Each structure stands twice: as C-alpha cells, then as structure tokens.
Structure 1
C-alpha cells in the first residue's frame, strides 16, 4: 500500500519508523509532536506546541503537512519571522519530499524589501558603477538581495519596499520577480514558506477577497510563534511620519498652490514644529530608560496640544477646500479615541502610531478557523514550568485570543544532555540593578564578567537589554588588556561576517543586544558561555503599560512572563547541538537566593540547565571537568 493511501497518523508513524533509512535520528519528542500535528490536521483543529532546541520541530511539522498536501491538494503556508529560518525550511521541505518520494511546488516567498525594483534601479543606474551593475543584473533576472552583492545604503534606494509607488503602470511589471512570485502563490496549489508579516497581511485581507494566498488554505504553520502578537499589532496600526503628512498635503493641493499658499506654508511649519517636539521628547525618554525602547510615549505639553488643535483646524480647511480626505488627519483624530493606544516609534524616523488597545479577539478570529488547522510552535512559548498546560502557556495564549477548545500539547523537552553538558551560574555579589545605581551595577559587573571570561578563556556571548550598557562594557573590556578578541554587534550588512569572525576566533568574546537574544546560532567550542547582563524585563512603554494596566498583578502576570520567554531565548544560544557544552551565567542578583524574589523559581526552572550554582569555585570545577572530557573524546 502506498504511504499516501494510509490514514495520515499511520503514514506519519511509518515515516519515522523508517527514519534511519533516510538518515534521520529517531527522537521521541519529534515523533510525538508530528503525531499530534497529524491528529490536528485530520480533525481540522488547531494546536499549540513548544519544542525545545534539538527536537527538530521543522521535520516534525513538515512530515504531516507534506503528506496531507498530497491528500487534499490544498495550499499550505509555513510562516516564520527570520529569513535564516525561511531559507532553512526551503531546504528541509525539499529533503522531506525526497524522503517521501514525491514532488511538489515549493515557493519561498520573501517580503518586498528583499527584491529589487527595476524602475528604481534604472533611475539610479547613472549615479555610480554599483547601481549600473545592479540594474544590469536585475534585467538578467537576478533580483533578490540574497543573490546580489550590495551595500545597505544602495539597497535602500532600489528595493521595492522603499519605492512607495504603485506597480500597475510599471513597464517592468512582466519582468519583476516579486510580482511573478505573488502571482504564483495566488494561483497555484503549493507549499509556501513566507514571513509572518505576509501571513498576517493575508489574514487581514482575505475577507475582502484581496488575500495574498489561495482561498483554499488547508493548513497554516507558524514557527517562532512567540513573535506573532507583535506582527498582528503592527498590521492593525495606522501610522504616519513627518514626510508622509507633508507630502500628502502637497499632493492634494498641487493644483491650488496660488490660492492656498499661505495656508500650506503655515501648516507645513506647524508640522515641522510638532515633529521637532516629538524628536526631542523621544531622546529624553531614551536617555531616562535603563533598557532599549522600541516604542515611546506620546506626551504632548499644553503648548503642543494647542499646536495640534490648530494643525487639525488647518487640515480640515484643506480638506474642505480640496474635497479630499487626508489620511493623516484621520489618524490624528483617531488618537482621541479612548479605545486606542497612541505611541511613537523612531526606527526609520519619528512616526505616530495609533492602534486599538485590545486586538486579541480579532487575532483569534483571523488566525483560527474551522475550515483549516493552525499550528503554532516555537522553542519559547511557555512562561512557567509548573501548573496546568493552560497555566504554562497562559500568557502566550491570552495574547492571541486563543480559543478555549483548541488543543494544547505537552512541551517537548530537548533530547540534549543538559545535566552533564551545562551548568547555570547565578551571581549573588552584585547590587540590584535599579536606575538609581546603574553606574555602580555596571562597574561591579565588569569585575564579575572578567572572572567568568577567565574560566572559559573567552568563548563567550554577552547579552544586554540596553545598547548603552553594551557599549560601556565593550569599552571597559577592550581597555582591560584581556587576552581575547573583544567584538561587538554590528548594525550593518557586516553582521554575518562579525559572527563568522566570532566562530573562527575560538577564544573571542562578542557583545550584543536585540536580535542576538534569538537570532544567532553558533555551534561548537566558540560559544561555551552565555552571560546574561541583566534579567530581560520589558522596559516600560505604551503597549506594555496597557497590558499591565489590565492585570491584577502586573509584575507576575505580564512583566515576569515577558522576561521568562526572552530569558529562555537568550540562554538557548548556548546548547545548539548534542555535542555543545558550556555555562549560562546570570549576573542579575534578582535571580539569586540572596534576593528572594517571587519569580526566581519560575525564571530558573524555565531553563533546561538543572545544575545551578552561586559558587564560582564550583563553576570552575565543572568547567575543568568538561574540558577533560573533551580532551578524552
């Protein structure tokens, strides 16, 4: 009997029974996860499952969804949040197809900023040789950034995401790889691997018939699902920048400048003044914070409130005179609604953002459907290690409006030997890291970091919650005369090269924040220690403040779960393969027995390192032990 003629769960079992023949090591957690996903698909239900490092979760979900694809020939979408995982999944799905002995259309669908715009490349081709070469390559069909050697500055000028134009009238439309890809995933029954933003965009638009994928989706898998709430929040948010609001005014008044010039000039000046205030206030908020802020409070002074009222009045007059509605005006008006959150961001210039406060019901309605299965997975979905499954997944489930009748899986524990290969050290020497003693904490932390680096002789990733702390420690370590190469996270296209240097320089040390908590994968001796500079509690900011305002105990119901999930991500950088060995060191004394916090047990028990010590002598003995073991292997 052909495998496709068997019930799905039986076919999945047979695949793993023959795993060794296909070069796969049989892992019990992987088999259990795959079987649970098969059951969810067969029942058209949804499932949430945490799978720790080493489970092989991509194979676990690919086996049942690929086999189901050949049963109903309905499109399948796998969404993740990083390009690195997208590219790995493209390789994995082709391997699974080969193991099963079938062929299928597989579409790697990256976001528009990963593709060049031929029209923009042509416009810039005479500026220098780099742009000229990009245009020639694009004409020959080389249009993905990953296939091009290009600086970030040049790419920002020619990628589709930066254009802000409609593609309907573009003469290169028929040669555009991005548009061709969009057409294929809209028309073909295929296995699509995309980013989470694309999936969320589809879910928001499908009800109006403008979805990106086919309407017959049978299964959605979201990997790295701990990032999904923020993707939905972004999609539900209306925002505008100074440039956009000014350009909108100029566009609707382009034919009436002679009669409206004074009003336009006055309005543009007010917009400039308004955004200058916002820029200054963002700088003040960031300077006062003890961690990096991604969003900022909108807190206008009385003078600015009067300016905004006058600005709205001018924009209403422009609307009446031109009989054109200004989107930016509507966004400003929306900010007055108590049901909305208003905040500022400053990643690519200052933006005002407006979004409804509670979007959980909308997320649940869009994400979970009776006509398909939705599988949510990640290595970090639970925020506590005790209680019922609903308790353990509770924070994540609540953030997505997860229905009560949806299946919840027992977390799949890593098969790696953490008991023998790793130890967690918690420092009890440092002062509690509060804003008022930030400098004292940083200064005393340097001595503790140096002691820890001497144990492993470098080979360390140090994770921070604030760039300011990272830069301070980097400066102190580079001037300390240590016998290790000290590196710091790069913010440009040389990031991967920086990590490659860290891998090759075995005794080196690298300092990072932000994406380094979950975005890097370094196997082997080069990463033998992860140092957590401070527990990664969320910084006070508008969205987090709203969440905390709805909780009976904001610390334990919101701040601690957020911290625990990120702590698991950071500590998870250490053991990336069965042979990896090393140390997770937490400098923050709030995780120590000296400061008996209400969340200490939840934080430490959430990590797979069961061997925990606050004695640095014991830590040295452990390191000597695993070094001896490595020599004898």
Structure 2
C-alpha cells in the first residue's frame, strides 16, 4: 500500500508547518512511502529536499531551473523510495484513504486550530461539519438542522473546502441563502476569516475566492449610466454636483463598482442606470463591463458562488427549458436558511400575469408609429380588443375581491368557468394575430419590434398556462402595489423539485436552524420532494443539533392564562392582548420585539399600547420598512412591533433584545395552495397534523431564535395565545418543540427574572 503517490496533500503540508519544518516559500509536492518531497521555488532555480514524516530526517535531493512536471512524478517517487531515510517501519504507516485524511484534518482544524483564534470548542459544531463532509464523500443528500449557536456557517464552509482539497474539485461550490444579511456575513466575515486561518496554517496555498450572484437589475449599465450622467450634467444644477460625483465613481474598473447595492443612491436613480435589457444593438456591447464580468462570473474560477434561493432556482428552470444559464457548472450546492426554500420555489415556479401587462404592451405598440396606414387601423382595432378583453377578464374573476381593502384577504382561488376560459382563449387568439402582423410590419425601430414580439409571446405563453387547470393551482391575488395578478402553480411542485434539484447528481447540503419538528424531517422532505428519493439511488443523511445555549438558566417562557380565543374581530381579545403587552414591556423595561402574523392587528395594538407607554420608544415595522430594525437597535431599550419579516434572519445580540412576544401562533396563512393540500387528505385532522401544525412549529422556532443570539444573552419569551394555555390544544406540541426552560403564567416571575439577570446599565437607558 505504501507505493501509492499522494499529490497535493494539504494535511501533510499543515502537519509539517505545525511541526516548524516547512520553510517560508516551501511547499509539499507529493508523498511517496514515508517521505514528502518539498519544493522551494526561487527566482533562479527550484530546489528539492525529502523529509521523513515520522522522524523528520531530511536529505537534499536536487536543484532545477524549472519545477518537476507532473508527468515525471513517478520517476521522482522511485528516487524518493530509494533514499535511506525512507525506510518503511511497519508500526508507522501513513493513512492513504483520502476520505479519512480529510476527516482527520477537519477534526484537527476544529480541535486545535480554531481555538487559537478565540473560537470555543463546540462538539456539536465539529460533529455537524464531519457529517457534512461524510455526506459529500458518500454522495448523500445531507439534511442538517443546526439550532442557533451551533455554528453551521463555519461548519459547511470548512467541510466543503476540505472536501474540495482532497477531491481535487475544480468547480465552484454554490451557497444559496434566503437573506442579504447572511450573504454579507458569509462574504465579509466567514469566508475571509476562514481563508486567512487556512492560509496561515498552510492548508490552502491561495485565498478562497467568491462572487455574489444577483439579478442584472442590481448592476450598472454603461449605456444607461452614460445617458443619465449626460442628462444631469446638461441641466447644470449646483445641487446635482454630489450626484455627479457618485455617478463618476461607478466608472471605475473594479468589479465591485458595478454593484449598485453598495452605493447610497436613491431607488429612482438606480432604476435609471441599472441593467434592464441587454440588446445586440447596444452601442456598448463590444466593451460592456457588465457583459465582461458576466462571462467571468460564469467561469469556474471561483471557489464559491453565492446567490439567493430564487436565483439558483431560476438557473435550474432555465437549464431545463434550454434557456441561457445564469450559473456555471457546479458539483456542490449548500442551501442555507433552507426553511425558506419552498417559499422561493413557489415564487419561481409560479406563473404570473398582472392586469397592467396588456395595457403596457398596447402602449409599447403605439399604432401611430406604423409606417403604412392600413397597418395602423388594423393595429388600433386589435389593441382596442385586447384592452376590452383584459378588463373583462380581471373584473370578472376578481369580482367583489377587487373592492376588498382587508390586508389579510390577498388571494382567492379562480373558479374555473366557461366564460373565463373563453376570454383567455380570445386574448390568446388576438396575441397570435398580433405576432403574425409583426412578422412583416415596418416600424421606426427594429429593436422595438423585437421587444413587442417577445412581450406578446410571453403573455400568450402565460395565458396558455392558465388553461391547464388539471396540472395547476390557479388563483388571483393583490400585488404589493394593490393591483391584481393571475397566478398559477404546478400541482406537483414537489415532484418538479425532486427532478430539478435532488435527482441531478449535485452534492447537496441543506441546512437551517429549523427544518424539523422534534428532529423529524418528514414535513420538510414532503414539501420539497426529497421524500421521493429512492434509497438505492441516493441516501439521505439526517442530522439535528440542539442549540448549545443554556436556555434553562438564561431564559424564561411566559404563557398567561385566561386569555380569550384569538379573534381579531373581538374587542375583548384586542383589549386583553394589549394589556398583556403593556405589562410585559414594563416588566422588561422595553428591550422588546413583538411579532404579529397580521398587519391589521399589529397596527391596531400599536396604537392601543402607544396611549399607555411613554417611557420607551415604540417603533412599528410596516411593509418594506426594514430601516426600523436599525432604529430599534440604536434606541437601546425600544419596543419594535413587527411582522414575519423580523422573525427570521435578524441578529440582535446582547441586551437590546431581551424580550420576544409572540402574539399569536404563526399558523400558515390560508391560501389556494393550502386549499389544494387539503384535498389530498380524507381526514382533516391528518391534514392539520402533517401540514398545518408542522408549518406553525417551524416558524415558531424561527421566531424564538431571535431571542438568544450569544452564550451570555438572557431573554424572556412570551406566547399570548390561549391555545398554548394549560388546557390548550397545542401546548404539548409547542413545548416539545422549544428548548427546555422554565414556564410561568405570572408576570411577577418575569420581573424577578429581569432583576436577577440584568445589570444596572440595562435599567438606566
């Protein structure tokens, strides 16, 4: 076995570095027998020496003008084996199994190297990383739940990096997340830190490289930037000098200057200069920076490509449909924040058509632009017909729903009837006619003709989807802007995800703090199609690591008794919830995040509480107001009223957040998708058990994860829902899912807990 040659042995290089043997410019080229070949590349010549890996005896080998080519390694290895220092000792045998060597090196990093940089030894983190590594080595799909504090990000970056070192993978690893905050942490903290440590310990020989992948609207368009900059300069207004300076910065060559997310420009300005459409007629196409960087991003030169779930799913769909790929080939994909993966899939695989798309197409056509008069008349008639049919279709299917202002009522299933199908078919027929006309029509812009054809074809394709009632769930909903949209989602989305994601041969690590219910992954596997994997083709590794934080000492759970049943239309319920929130805010001296599942209820209770609380700053996070999180952070002792968006992905360590109030159990919001799920079950109680309750538990655990972010944090958790009371239907399910901690129904216990756990500064803000 000892005649095997090991090339690029990262663990051997680290071993010699830690022993103080490896010189500054020296590297390990290969291992043969018990000897390593060390190469020192100088300016004039390259010198080689051999070293016994057990007793560190060394022998000078030779010097060359050029390094040994890899094809000569067998000859060099034979020469190494003939050295007297390479005498084999049966009691000293090198481990040749690359998988085991990778595992040993990963363990060494967690046990010895990371603690040198102030990182605490965490048994669960090391076990998690080793499980991820073994899954990659054995081509298993890894389902890894790691509760807050486990350190899953370090775990998977190190597991992937070590695996790639020993497998000699030349393709990038995809890391997919749900939030920008995690992407920024990965690129600004985790990867740079790990890269520095591994470089210092000679485990890698060059820094880990990465690129963040986003939609093109996040980047600067050279053509649009030049046009907009010229228009601002021509106005010659003194107040625009600052803006012109910022626009000038965007002309720098460095890659990160293309990314608009890093510039403090208004949304209006970004909309004017970002990449909207890339056209072959663009005057900048031959030297466009975005096009140049896009080609580089599609290369396999990066160690990591980082994107969100939507982007990686869009790439998967494009590949399946034969469209332009968004990402390079990759062999490993890490899905972090995987509890949001199904939501992303429902967005990407959902076909949408808004009520204003056909009016926009009509505006784009502008019949007066046509060269010949007969085409003008024909096109005007067609545009009038399209407008009328579009209006009837949305008004008929929307019905009274159009007049509804209730924020919770944002969607309803489309009732399939003959008239709806006829209107859709009429629209399709008109769009087909439009396409035929534009084959021969002459306009003042060939680029405009192409845009019209593509837009009309896109609308036609989507209308055809809405006719496929047996394959799709179809509904109409209000968009964020208040307009109406037709939506259609494949009924068998799980099976599509199975084919697109899990049946491709890509090594996958799927991780989150909350993807199981009590360590059971059945709900997540069912929703994502993972349960369709056949054991003989690909096995699933399931790992669940509890939080290392001491909740029993550092947390307390408050569940009041005698609360009314949750009903936002009941004034007694609203009064009781408001009273409990006021008592809790006073007991914890502010420092509170209050999470709601209803915007309407959030606003109503905010104004009720505002009448009584003046000692602490109150903030309300309405739709899109993520800036309120930073205002809350800076306040020191504020109270933040927020929705689901603040219940996931935010990191507020320390005393700023010492109380998390959950007003109502976060059951899934009724939707056409849930209505369809219900039809799969004969027994309603089974539907609740397998779909509704697991969905609620997973989100509840996410919300709880906001409270304690560091080992020294202390926090109060409160659930103001009678269904978790002493005799509540969901009490056992909830308590089993949450970390072990004292439970009380007395507000005095909360006051005592805060008094014991907090220092004087906490109360002086």
Q: Common fold, TM-score beyond 0.5? A: yes
Distance 1:53-1:317 versus aligned 2 partners, 3 A rule: same
- Which of the numbers 717, 728, 736 marks the counterpart of 1:584? 717
Match of 2:325 in 1: 211
Query: Residue 278 of structure 2 corresponds to which residue in structure 1?
Result: 166
Could you tell me which residue of structure 2 aligns to residue 513 of structure 1?
643
Are 1:398 and 2:526 an aligned pair? Answer: yes
Deviation at 1:580, TM superposition (A): 0.9
How many residue pairs get aligned? The number is 614
CA distance in 1, matches of 2:653, 2:208: 32
Aligned 8 A contact 2:143 2:543 in 1: no
Spell out, residue by residue over 1:244-300, the C-alpha distance to the aligned partner (whole angstroms, 9 max, x if none): 33344566795433223223213213324544566775555661x6x474x543358
1:77 equivalent in structure 2: 174
- Partner-residue secondary structure (3-state), 2:630: helix
Distance 1:580 1:279, change over 3 A: farther
Q: Distance in 2 between matches of 1:56 and 1:235?
A: 30
1:443-482 alignment to 2 at 5 Å? 443-482=575-614
1:153 and 1:605, CA in 2 relative to 1: closer, same or farther beyond 3 A?
Answer: farther
Q: In the alignment, does 2:274 pair up with 1:154?
A: no
Any idea what the Cα deviations from partners look like across 1:211-265, whole Å, max 9, x if unmatched? 33332x2211010011112222222222222333334456679543322322321
Of 258, 266, 270, which aligns to 2:377? Answer: 258
1:95 aligned onto 2:193: yes
Matches within 5 A, 1:352-363: 352-363=486-497
CA contact (8 A) 1:464 1:513 kept: yes
Match status 1:232 vs 2:364 = no
RMSD of aligned Cα (Å): 3.0
Deviation at 1:355, TM superposition (A): 2.4
SS at match of 2:175: strand
Structure 1 counterpart of 2:69? none
Q: Does 1:556 align with 2:689?
A: yes
1:121 alignment partner, one of 225, 229, 236? 225
Query: Quick check: 1:365 aligned with 2:499?
Result: yes
Q: 1:488 to 1:175 in 2, by over 3 A?
A: farther
Whole-angstrom CA distance in 2 between matches of 1:65 and 1:335? 42
Specify whether residues 169 and 601 from structure 1 end up closer, same or farther in structure 2 by C-alpha distance, changes over 3 A only: farther
Structure 2 CA distance for aligned equivalents of residues 372 and 273 of structure 1: 47
Does the CA contact (< 8 Å) of 1:292 and 1:465 recur in 2? no
How far, CA to CA, are the matches of 2:337 and 2:12 in structure 1?
29
Distance 1:440 1:4 in 2: 70
**CA–CA separation in structure 1 for the residues paired with 2:544 and 2:755:** 33
Task: Please state whether the residue corresponding to 1:396 is helix, strand or coil.
Answer: helix
- Name structure 1 gaps, 5 residues minimum: none
Q: Which moved more, 1:225-234 or 1:298-307?
A: 298-307
Are the aligned partners of 2:102 and 2:162 in contact in 1 as well (CA < 8 Å)?
yes
Question: 1:505 deviation in Å?
Answer: 1.9
Task: Report the alpha carbon displacement of residue 537 of structure 1 after superposing the two structures with TM.
Answer: 1.0
**Other structure's SS at 1:119 match:** helix
Q: 2:508 maps to which residue?
A: 374
Q: What corresponds to 1:593 in structure 2?
A: 726
Q: Which has the larger radius of gyration?
A: 2
Tell me the distance in 2 between the aligned counterparts of 1:473 and 1:283. Answer: 27
Q: Are the aligned partners of 1:121 and 1:131 in contact in 2 as well (CA < 8 Å)?
A: no
- Is the 8 Å Cα contact of residues 423 and 609 (structure 1) preserved in structure 2? no
Secondary structure of residue in 2 paired with 1:411: strand
Q: 1:209 to 1:67 in 2, by over 3 A?
A: farther
TM-score normalised by length of structure 1: 0.89
Match for residue 137 of structure 1? 249
Q: Secondary structure at the match of 2:475?
A: strand
Which among 200, 213, 235 is matched to residue 313 of structure 2? 200
Q: Which residue of 1 aligns with 2:25?
A: none
Distance 1:373 1:602, change over 3 A: same
Match of 1:46 among 133, 141, 166: 141
Q: What's the CA shift string for 1:374-400, capped at 9, x where partnerless?
A: 000001101x22xxx5xx111111111
Cα pair 2:141 2:508 within 8 Å, conserved: yes
Residue 544 in 1 paired to residue 674 in 2?
yes
**Which residue in 1 is equivalent to 2:357?**
244
Alpha-carbon distance between aligned partners in 1 of 2:158 and 2:720, rounded to the nearest angstrom: 42
Q: 2:665 aligns with which of 525, 528, 535?
A: 535
In structure 2, the CA distance between the partners of 1:407 and 1:305, relative to structure 1 (3 Å rule), is closer
Q: Distance in 2 between matches of 1:371 and 1:4?
A: 31
The C-alpha deviation readout for 1:461-502, integer Å capped at 9, x for no partner, is 01111111111122122222431111111545x734x32332
In structure 2, the residue corresponding to 1:139 is in which secondary structure?
coil
Q: Name which structure has the greater RCO, CA cutoff 8 Å, separation 6+.
A: 1
Output the CA distance in 2 between the equivalents of 1:629 and 1:397: 48
| TM-aligned CA deviation for residue 184 of structure 1 | 2.0
1:106 aligns with 2:223: no
Which region of structure 1 is more displaced relative to structure 2, 176-185 or 220-229? Answer: 176-185
Match for residue 341 of structure 1 among 470, 473, 486: 473
